[in-house]
Structure 1
Amino acid sequence: MKLHKGLKRLGVITSLGVLLVLIQGALVTKTGSGEGCGNTWPLCFGEVIPMDPPPETVIEFSHRLVAGIVGMLVILMAIWSWRRLNHLAETKFLALISVFMIIFQGLLGAGAVVFGQSNLIMALHFGFSALSFASVVLLTRLAFEDGHLTKQYVPTVTKAYKWFVILTTVYTYVVIYTGAYVKHTGATLACSGFPLCNGELLPSLTGGAGAQIGAQVFHRAAAITLFLLLVILFIWTMKTFRHMRVLSVCAWLALILVIGQAASGISVVFTLNESLTLGIFHALLISLLFTVLCYMVMLVTRKSR
């Protein structure tokens, strides 16, 4: 007998929905469509459905529409999981986080439209989207785990490894924030070329573009550090915990995703940020990477019952 068949399906649909909202959010930022509906919310230029809208209005309005539908799915997913998976230790925490994040990022987006927000706050908006996606995916994973009628997988790892996974995941979230800040401050092309910035190892931070160059250099340094941390995580996992298949697969996925993330980021610089696909792909990969690492955190912090 298969358990939680409906919950699994809802989880997959909701996870894909949250991912779509995340991509749409990146598209709104990339195309500068944040004011596509003016400063009105939830209406669009005072209309329920805008008539004969320009492209930026279509992008913003569709983002709002899909986000509203997905928000209801997330709440439904959280309630269903709370009732059917409440015997699993992680369920209630993930259910609360998923609902809080989807509501909070919606309010943050609405506030940005009506009142305007600083670049710092808007950068957090993408970070909350990544947390929302990760929490829904992990809830879905719990439904699939419990549906096998087998004992929950609890890997036995060292304390040092556990904390390395946790701290690397937290650091990844910081890197997400630095990247979102670069995007919202228009600093994507503050540095020409890679790995040098405007032909210099340590570029000058003075002048009108100094703040943007500083944001870009800081993000690059943070991203390179993350790459090195994930290489260490991969080697550590393969050397010590290779027999634990789930951890090994996660380590492989994390390495592949961070390589793709680095490649897409460098490509954005060399294509002068003219490719819409590359920018969205860059946002997608870091969200998937963060989700994989969050799953590793869930695994290594489990206790045998």
Structure 2
Amino acid sequence: MLIQLAIMGLLAACLPLSVVWVSNDANKYRKLAWVTVFLTFDLVMFGAFTRLTDSGLGCPDWPGCYGHANPLQAHEHISAAEAAMPTGPVTVAKAWIEMIHRYFAMAVGVLIIAMVVIAWRNWRRNRRTPTAEGSGGLAMPLLLFFFVCLQGAFGAWTVTLKLQPVIVTLHLLLGLTLLGLLAWHAARLSRHAPVGQAAAGLKLAAGAGLLLLALQIALGGWVSTNYAALACADFPLCQGTVVPPMDYQHGFTLWRELGKTGAGDYLPFAALTAIHWTHRNFAFVVFAVVGWLAWRAGRVPGLERTARWLGLALALQLITGLSTIFLNWPLAIAVAHNGGAALLLLLLTMLNFKIRLAGRPVSTLSCHAQAAARSIHLPESN
């Protein structure tokens, strides 16, 4: 089974690797980094789809499905489970959704392993050739490999611990951390427009915006993993009042089973209300801070484009968030809302990276990009 799963992961990685191979980009390593960012963003979106369709236990074992590499081979077991519980977590459709998510994750792992291999070969080449000026760095690819392995472990625990909310939420956060690290690494390998010196004054605000967004994403993940999305079905009020009855003690007890309190009792509705209400209201804090940041960054040369995209993504995220309430949580909009959070993370990561370039010479690559281009003996420009 493990060999079959490895083959599936390699097959899933063939298309993105082919895109890199046939690309006209002279720096294939840089192209591989950006393709991995794109695929990881897609994986985050599909992970949200898997969670929101309640497919996390579509295959209740790991890494395969009832001991097999794909749902076709496990069809008999899946059909028996579905017949026993037609509305339960195991159905043929949910099994396929869960396994496609795993194949997708394995493909990302293969791409990151390819990045590590290339970086290691460059590092070895430059050790043998002392006159070489750089390799683009081995530390970041190794860190990415560590994170993808850690993410895989949390994916396994998500299943074996039966969707325990804290594990599922950490699985989401690690996935988005991996996405942010990949974007940062790809940005280090790329050419950027000159950034005005005024950007240096936004360094603290940009870091704070990223931190607040991470906290909001964690709260959103906690809403999703506890199925608290419909605890407040009206807006701007919640259950017809500004401050509804809430149970923070049970709602934010981290180590507990899904739908249960820490003592094993059923989770009260007031706990779900506390989870939803906190996420909803903290969103306005994030909207204000990140909106102000986008406005300020839009006035700094070199940051205008990123700032415009950040403002647009923020507005769309607000729209999708409100739409999930008024339209009773439709699946497509809920997935788009999760994707919007990932997009905001990417844009804030890029904004933080570009702010670090403030005051650098015009029309130059970062030192990391120059080193990477030299190490693979390819030109620095496209």
Scaled by the length of structure 2, the TM-score of the pair is: 0.70
Determine if the alignment matches structure 1 residue 257 to structure 2 residue 303.
no
Q: Answer yes or no: is the 8 Å Cα contact 2:65–2:99 preserved in 1.
A: yes
Deviation at 1:180, TM superposition (A): 0.6
**Cα distance between partner residues in 1 of 2:193 and 2:314:** 28
* Equivalent of residue 106 in structure 2, options 44, 47, 68: 68
| AA in 1 matched with 2:236 | P
2:346 matches 1:291? yes
For 2:188, which of 138, 142, 146 is the aligned residue? 142
Partner of 1:42: 63
**Structure 1: which 5+ residue stretches go unaligned?**
146-150
- Post-superposition shift, 1:140? 2.5
Q: Is the 8 A contact 2:25 2:31 kept in 1?
A: no
Q: Letter of the aligned partner of 1:20 in structure 2?
A: D
Percent identity between matched residues is 24
Contact between 1:137 and 1:291, CA under 8 Å: does it hold in 2? yes
Structure 2 CA distance for partners of 1:139 and 1:123, relative to 1, 3 Å: same
Query: Structure 2: how far apart are the matches of 1:11 and 1:117?
Result: 31
**Are the counterparts in 1 of residues 37 and 183 from structure 2 also a CA contact under 8 Å?**
yes
CA deviation map 1:36-81 (0-9, x unaligned): 111x211211112222460000000111111112111022224435
Select the structure with the greater relative contact order (CA < 8 A; seq sep ≥ 6).
Answer: 2
Match of 1:148 in 2: none
- What is the CA distance between 1:281 and its match in structure 2? 0.6
Structure-1 separation of matches of 2:342 and 2:134:
25
Q: 1:101 aligns to what?
A: 147
CA distance in 2, matches of 1:74, 1:95: 7
Indicate how the Cα distance of structure 1 residues 262 and 81 shifts in structure 2: closer, same or farther if over 3 A, else same: farther
Report the AA paired with residue 50 of structure 1.
P
1:13 and 2:73 aligned:
no
Asked if the contact 2:122/2:135 (under 8 Å) is kept, the reply is no
Select which of 94, 98, 102 maps to 1:56: 94
Residue from 32, 40, 47 that aligns with 2:54:
32
| C-alpha distance after superposition, 1:243-299 (max 9, x if no partner) | x13x111111111111111111111111111x2211111111111111111112122
Contact 1:192–1:199, Cα closer than 8 Å, also in 2 = no
| Local SS of the residue matching 1:225 | helix
Structure 2 residue 171 is matched with structure 1 residue 125: yes
Cα distance, 1:255–1:92 mapped onto 2, change above 3 Å: farther
SS in 1 for 2:294: helix
Structure 1 residue matching 2:244: 3-state secondary structure: coil
The change in CA–CA distance for 1:144 and 1:300 in structure 2 (over 3 A counts) is: closer
Matches within 5 A, 1:197-216: 197-205=238-246, 208-216=268-276
1:89 deviates by 11
Q: Would the alpha carbon gap of residues 153 and 76 (structure 1) be closer, same or farther in structure 2, given more than 3 Å must change? A: farther
Deviates more, 1:292-301 or 1:259-268: 292-301
Q: C-alpha offsets along residues 172-230 of structure 1, whole Å, 9 cap, x if unaligned?
A: 11111100100000100100112211221111215921111111111012111111012
Shift of 1:20: 2.0
Q: Distance in 2 between matches of 1:290 and 1:231?
A: 14
Specify the alignment match of 1:220 in structure 2.
280
In 1, Cα distance between the equivalents of 2:188 and 2:26?
Answer: 10
Q: CA deviation at 1:93?
A: 5.5
**Number of positions where the alignment pairs a residue of Structure 1 with one of Structure 2:** 293
2:223–2:229 Cα contact (<8 Å) kept: yes
Q: Which amino acid aligns with 1:162?
A: K
Report which stretch shifted further, 42-51 or 214-223.
Answer: 42-51
> How many Å separate the matches in 2 of 1:91 and 1:249?
28
Contact 1:102 1:132 in 2 (8 A): yes
Instruction: Measure, in 1, the Cα distance between the counterparts of 2:137 and 2:356.
Output: 14
CA RMSD of aligned residues (A): 2.7
- The 8 Å contact of residues 157 and 300 in structure 1, kept in 2 or not, is answered as no
Contact 2:228/2:275 (<8 A) preserved:
yes
Matched, 1:178 2:219: yes
SS state of the match for residue 45, structure 1?
coil
Mapping 1:261-280, distance limit 5 Å: 261-273=317-329, 275-280=330-335
Distance 2:32 2:227 in 1: 37
Radius of gyration: which is bigger?
2
Unaligned ranges ≥5, structure 2:
1-23, 79-91, 127-132, 248-266, 361-366, 368-382
Q: Distance in 2 between matches of 1:79 and 1:155?
A: 36
In the alignment, is residue 235 of structure 1 matched against residue 295 of structure 2? yes
Q: Helix, strand or coil for the counterpart of 2:197?
A: coil
Task: Using the TM superposition, name which of 90-99 and 187-196 deviates more.
Answer: 90-99
Q: Take 2:25 and 2:68, find their aligned partners in 1: how far apart are those partners?
A: 44
